[in-house]
A and B are shown apart, each in its own frame.
Chain A
Amino acid sequence: MSQDFRLDSVGLINRDKKLSFKFNGKKYFGYEGDTLASALLANGVHLVGRSFKYHRPRGFFGAGVDEPYAIVQLYRNNETEPNIKATEQELFEGLEAKSVNCWPSVNFDIGAINNFLKIFLPAGFYYKTFMWPKSFWYRIYEPFIRKAAGLGVASTKHDKERYEHKYEYCDLLIAGSGPSGLSSAYAAAKNGAKVILAEDKPRFGGSLLTDEVNIGNQSGKDWAEGIIAELKTMPNVVVKNRSQIFGYYDHNMLVMSEKVSDHLPKTKKYHPNKRLWYIRAKEVLISSGSIERPIVFGNNDTPGVMLSSAAKEYLKVYGVLVGKNPLIFTNNDSGYETAIEFQKHGVQPTVLDSRKNPESEIIDEAKSLGINIKNSYVVVAAQGYKKVKSADVASISDDKKQLGKIENIKCDCICVSGFWTPSIHLASQSGNKTKFKEEIDAFVPGTSKQQETTLGAANGVFSLEETLKTSFEKGRELSKKITDNDNEVSIPNVVEKKSSKHDKFWCVPLPAGKNYKRFLDFQNDVAVSDIEIALREGYRSIEHVKRYTTLGMATDQGKTSNLNGLQLVSEIENKVVPAVGHTTFRPPYTPISIGAIVGREVGKHSKPTRKSPMHSWHEKNNAVFVDAGVWLRPRYYKRGNENLFDGSKREAKNVRKNVGVCDVTTLGKIDIKGPDAAELLNRVYTNAWLKLPVGKARYGVMLREDGIVMDDGTTTRISENHYHMTTTTAQAANVLSHLEYYLQLVWPELNVNVVSTTEQWAGAAIAGPKSRDLLQKLFPNSDVSNEGLPFMGYMEGDLSGVEARIFRISFSGELAYEVNVESDYGNFMWEKIMEVGKEFNIQPYGTEALSTLRIEMGHVAGSELDGRTIPYDNALEGLVSKKKDFIGKRSLQRSAFTAEDRQRVVGVVPLDKQTSIPEGSHLVKDDKAPLPNPKLGHISASCWSVEYDNPFSLAILKDGKNMIGQKLFAMSPLKNKIIPVEIVSSHYVDPKGERVRS
């Protein structure tokens, strides 16, 4: 298909490189340097989608980030991405895109029936229409809305692309590479400041690419190219295109999204798709320019109606005519600039100017070119359904209230200019209190809150000469403050045409008897009538009107709609715009891929994976791993076709019968040293610590100040002033912070140092009746007899030349030891234990067997110490000292904590001795009681008791102390189970604890 709307030799595209692409399945051609929008327009395609609510045909309205409706679903390299603006997407070979909001197709859309059922969808329709009857919501409303609406479909596949994060610091961060950004960057760079210049478009230069101006005796475009080329050679300057600064956060941190690969058919090897820059800047210069605003008239959403600046950009940058019979509708001189460009390229436009007698250099030029101009004329309504075919136009009275006789004139596009709105988003995000500037009918930044300055059009300054002057000066002044250099740069002379004042006119009145939709917010389909309804229904605050009507709440954040919405509210309410106030701008300025925000922290990279030094041994021996916090631990060692249940049962049985070895490296370890170490432990733990002898370990429980158990573990006195504390795997980091808190802030007088040694030691628990025999063989030179190393004893040993720490402590309830060696020797230790243990039938055991062993012994662990229980609840009140004070003690006096029927840990056995009780099940008295059935407690941990060969669980049960022997029901609605159970002691096996002391 030929590109009927492409001009010869106009624009900045590369005509030597032709690119093919597909839109809605049909093949087209464009050129390198095109956007999807410009390439489609070159092929005469104006219909790109359907609107969100009414499914009206929609085309292109802008040419960049402000685009409210040309949103497509993009297909690239077997991936798909929704919510892509066709005006921003650069063309590449093989690009494929489809319309969104269309069902079944863009040309025939069932949802468009909404357009004829407007009664269904007025302002607040989400809140009103779909609320009743309730039963309709799931069956009818939601499926209908889901099918008919939305801005595309997210991919369900794993995103293969890579996204990088980068942290950067600079003196000056400059947003925008138009005349203002270039000038300030240049001046600051000359003073040696570290500058980052960011441009969201592929090409630098901003308005200089399309404006007919002269700077320093060359065209604006050539001047911009020269400055950029020089900046790129300077080592203190980073120049980035395709990079959108989208968020201004606290303490002058800004975030920028750099599109590294979106313009390519496929991301290059080792390249990211996008790079997110976190930039901490000393000074920020906002040169984000301005966005043309529309004038509101009937059917102003018809494809072919677009901003006049966009039409000019399509022509000058892409060599594309958006129409061959254009109608320009303007209230200021900008429309004439577009008209002049059309005229110069052989197309005769008609200009309708709402002003009565405007006079300026630009208008004189338009007149001299013979352009047809009608003053005090407006477009009343666009005509044509899928494309503008003509326009109803009329003269308008001086007070802009009365329309003259309506005439219809033929045209194929309507280019609108309602003057310019500064892009104040970044300034506003920084906390800047913006102010309304009467002369331009728009808000501009006011008092800076952070180190930010807004310059040029973004600051409401539309004169190029003034913009260059202030920007050069500001760049020089700010950089001088930072670098102390003051190099003078001469400000170039500027030739620009003077323009005349714009008309304070933004909405064409409805002609008598006509009910045209006049849209304010094109993406969310908010029309003038919706705002009127909201106000009639009593909404006054602009924030409420926004939420009720969804004005400005779409993904374009109302870039083209906000001010006209405010004008309407102020007019109806008879207030001035500043009194109405504008809604808050929040980041991001433009939609950002979730992938870019997440960066590399996906999947396994979302947190570090920690492995013990014995990990590769576990792997080689068929360990099935489980995530334990950030650690990977063997859950069981699979033999043959064994499943988890059988494997863990075998391992646990072997511990009870022979001996097993478990990797306990993951336990938190804290080294505590200093003359006051015992005093610290005495204050941190609930039990007494001042008299623990050297070479002895003690079990301890620590509380938070609110009396809740924080952690438990054993601490061993290695020498006079040296202790080795262990914590649970999960709480290791919190316990260290906890100790540091008290040592640094509460009791700085204590002479103690604490440091984490979790990584320094590899640990193996050796448990079972044959563990002593094994240990003796491992340490032939040590006396590990019951007398030489009694329960809770500690000694140092020599493991074939490696220094080892031996603790006689037990988690499994069996006779057990824990051996620690320096991490580097962990694997050596493990292999030695396995080798020597062979004659004792040793087997390694994983976390599942470990749990089984501790559960049937009634040893509490993380599932009981769950941040909601006190020592009594865990049957640990015997460890709570009555004599001394400690952290959290005072809280234990709270009446709820001393209640007679306080919850307490118990054992639970199913009556049938067969059915395993799901963890989390509720214990209730009556399984038939009406819901909500009063809960007496919950199952905290379940196992298959290897001692008794039946299921056994631990539970935290109200009045648990007096419930032993009672019959209750364990209910798990989640697993659809109701199990009759008996409450027993939590110490199911070896209740007197004889084995550990044997």
Chain B
Amino acid sequence: MLYIKCPHCGMRPQIEFSYGGDASVKRPELNKEISDQEWDDFVYNRKSLRGKHLELWQHLSGCRQWIKVERDTATHEIFKTFKANEEVA
């Protein structure tokens, strides 16, 4: 079970969180004309990386904040966590 540092609450066990997918995906702006391909890439297409991956988690049973977690998908090592509005270096 992973041990995740919530930037708001500190170290918490994985069971308090829910997974939210790839954090690098940006939702297209509202009211903007976009191609089918762009939309498909946003809704469906994911890279399923092996290695360092920036992902979203929500601290569901805690502060309810969505956070970004930089995690190695192969080793589960967590490098750094960020608040939702924090720039990822």
The chain A residues found within 8 Å of chain B, CB to CB, are: 167, 249-253, 278, 280, 431, 449, 683, 705-706, 737, 740-741, 744-746, 748, 884-885, 890-891, 893
Contacts and interface: CB of A to CB of B under 8 A. Distances in A.
B65 A744 contact: yes
Contact of B31 (A251, A252, A885): A885
Contacts of B13: 167, 253, 280
B66 A748 contact: no
B56 A737 contact: no
Given A251-B3, A253-B13, A737-B60, 15 more contacts: A250-B2, A251-B1, A278-B1, A431-B75, A683-B30, A706-B43, A740-B58, A740-B64, A740-B66, A741-B20, A745-B66, A745-B84, A884-B31, A890-B28, A893-B36
A683 B30 CA distance: 9
Nearest to B60: A737
B9 to A, nearest CB: 15
Contact of A744 (B27, B30, B44, B84): B84
29 contacts: A249-B1, A250-B1, A250-B3, A250-B76, A251-B2, A251-B76, A251-B78, A252-B3, A253-B3, A253-B13, A278-B1, A280-B13, A705-B43, A737-B18, A737-B58, A737-B60, A740-B64, A740-B66, A741-B58, A744-B65, A744-B66, A745-B56, A745-B66, A746-B27, A748-B84, A748-B85, A890-B28, A890-B39, A891-B43
B42 interface: yes
B89 interface: no
Contacts of B64: 740
A89 B39 CA distance: 62
Nearest to A280: B3
Interface in B59-75: 60, 64-66, 75
A995 B88 CA distance: 56
B43 A253 contact: no
Interface in B20-36: 20, 27-28, 30-31, 34, 36
A253 B1 contact: yes
Contacts of A737: 18, 58, 60
A39 B10 CA distance: 52
Contacts of B44: 706
Contacts of B75: 431, 449
Nearest to B84: A744
Contacts of A746: 27
Contacts of B20: 741
Interface of B: 1-3, 13, 18, 20, 27-28, 30-31, 34, 36, 39, 42-44, 56, 58, 60, 64-66, 75-76, 78, 84-85
A607 to B, nearest CB: 14
Could you say which of B28, B66, B78 has the most chain A C-beta atoms within 10 Å of its C-beta? B66
Nearest to B83: A744
Contacts of A705: 27, 42-43
Contacts of B18: 737
Judged by DSSP, the binding face of B is loop
A167 B18 CA distance: 20
Given A741-B20, A885-B31, A891 B3 contact: no
Contacts of B39: 890-891
A885 B30 contact: yes
Contacts of A280: 3, 13
Nearest to B56: A745
Residue among B30, B44, B56, B85 having the largest count of chain A Cβ atoms under 10 Å:
B30
A539 to B, nearest CB: 27
Contacts of B1: 249-251, 253, 278
Nearest to B33: A890
Residue picked from A249, A744, A885, most chain B C-beta under 10 Å:
A744
Contacts of A884: 31
Contacts of A748: 84-85
A960 to B, nearest CB: 26
Nearest to B23: A745
A737 B17 CA distance: 12
A171 B9 CA distance: 21
Nearest to A737: B58
Contacts of A167: 13
A309 to B, nearest CB: 36
Contacts of A683: 30
Nearest first, the 4 closest Cβ-Cβ pairs linking A and B are: A251-B3, A885-B30, A744-B84, A885-B31
A209 B5 CA distance: 44
A379 to B, nearest CB: 46
A452 to B, nearest CB: 14
Contacts of A449: 75
A597 to B, nearest CB: 13
A885 B28 CA distance: 11
Contacts of A891: 39, 43
A299 B13 CA distance: 51
A431 B76 CA distance: 11
Contacts of B28: 890
A161 to B, nearest CB: 24
A885 B29 CA distance: 10
A890 B58 contact: no
Contacts of B34: 890
A893 B43 CA distance: 13
A398 to B, nearest CB: 47
A213 B64 CA distance: 58
A286 B60 CA distance: 35
A885 B64 CA distance: 27
Residue in B28, B43, B75, B85 whose Cβ sees the most chain A Cβ within 10 Å: B43
A752 B73 CA distance: 34
Contacts of B78: 251
Contacts of B65: 744
A555 to B, nearest CB: 24
Nearest to B64: A740
Contacts of B58: 737, 740-741
A132 to B, nearest CB: 39
A737 B64 CA distance: 8
B55 to A, nearest CB: 12
Nearest to B1: A253
Contacts of B84: 744-745, 748
A890 B38 CA distance: 11
Contacts of A252: 3
Nearest to A736: B64
Contacts of A885: 30-31
Contacts of A890: 28, 34, 39
A237 B64 CA distance: 36
Contacts of B43: 705-706, 891
A209 to B, nearest CB: 34
Nearest to B18: A737
B53 to A, nearest CB: 15
A741 B25 CA distance: 13
A252 B78 CA distance: 13
A251 B5 CA distance: 12
Nearest to A756: B64
A937 B15 CA distance: 39
Contacts of B85: 744, 748
A664 B79 CA distance: 46
A744 B57 CA distance: 12
A682 to B, nearest CB: 10
Q: Most chain-B CB neighbours within 10 Å: which of A431, A449, A740, A748?
A: A740
A884 B2 CA distance: 42
A251 B42 CA distance: 32
Nearest to A754: B64
B28 to A, nearest CB: 8
A746 B66 CA distance: 11
Nearest to A705: B43
Nearest to B29: A885
B25 to A, nearest CB: 10
A948 B43 CA distance: 45
A744 B75 CA distance: 29
B32 to A, nearest CB: 8
A269 to B, nearest CB: 30
A257 to B, nearest CB: 16
